[in-house]
Amino acid sequence: MASIEKIVETFSRVFELDVATRAKQVRDLLQKLVDLYFQETWDTSEVITSSLDWSFAELDYETSEYSDRVHQLDQSISQLNRIYEQFVLPQAVVMLVGSLEVYLSTVFASCLSDVLGLNDRAVSKISGRYNFQNWGDSVDAFRTFLDIELCPEGVNSSEVVGLQQRRHVLVHRLGVVDERAARQLNLPLSSIGEDLKVRYSEVIEYVELVRRIGEHLCLSVEKQSQLPQARHEQV
């Protein structure tokens, strides 16, 4: 999760710099400076003789080339922004759901083995009943077999379901919103048939959501693992 967060934050900082706009401003200022110099000092009957004239003439030429490079930079940043919005942010959502699934399934199987003492065959059979990409299945599995509630205090299950539903649209609907997705995600009907938009702020919120679930589950498992020992000590 730290890597996902770092990637989207780095992209975001690039766009916050607004490099292309600053480069254009520098180009325009340089051109105004050159124009002002020749407007005030240049006599068409004269030839360039002074070193200062030569310096401004070179600056005029370089500013023209710089203008072409600014245009290329602007196009490159626009392309980078398109990649960021269409691929990086959506893929971050997919990766977060995948990470959560792996974490939940791994912890569940480990607890069945270490806390309940079940053998590999029993663990595999029980784990196979549940789809850990489905929040309802995950909640049921941990509640039924381990007496653990997956939702941390202050977290609503609908937040996790929303994350998983977005992943479903991105993976199984090629990112295109259909009527069911619009209804489940509380999107306007006008979004049907359009690409699902994923914002940077949403990814950061989802990273924090998954982190909170992971930390909560880790503490819950620690408490559960201490119960047999406590019972044994009481006996």
* Per-residue pLDDT reduced to its tens digit, 159-204: 999 999 999 999 999 999 999 999 999 999 999 999 999 999 999 9
- How far does Cα 62 stand from its chain's mean position? 39
Backbone angles phi, psi at 176, to 5 degrees: -95, 130
Q: Which neighbouring-strand residues pair with 195?
A: 176
Q: Label residue 227 by pLDDT band (50, 70, 90).
A: low
Q: How many domains does the chain have?
A: 1
Q: Label residue 231 by pLDDT band (50, 70, 90).
A: very low
Q: Which domain holds residue 26?
A: 2-234
pTM here is 0.77
CB-CB contact of 64 with 175 (8 Å): no
Q: Is 222 helix (H, G, I), strand (E, B) or coil?
A: helix
What is the pLDDT at residue 42? 55
Among the listed residues 179, 191, 206, 194, the one whose alpha carbon sits nearest the alpha carbon of residue 92: 206
- Residues 63 and 136: their CA atoms lie apart, in Å, by 61
| Residue 46: pLDDT over 70 | no
- Residues 52 and 54: their CA atoms lie apart, in Å, by 5
- Residues 68 and 72: their CA atoms lie apart, in Å, by 6
- Across the chain, mean pLDDT equals 86
The segment with the largest mean pLDDT, out of 11-20, 69-78, 200-209, is 200-209
What is the pLDDT at residue 235? 28
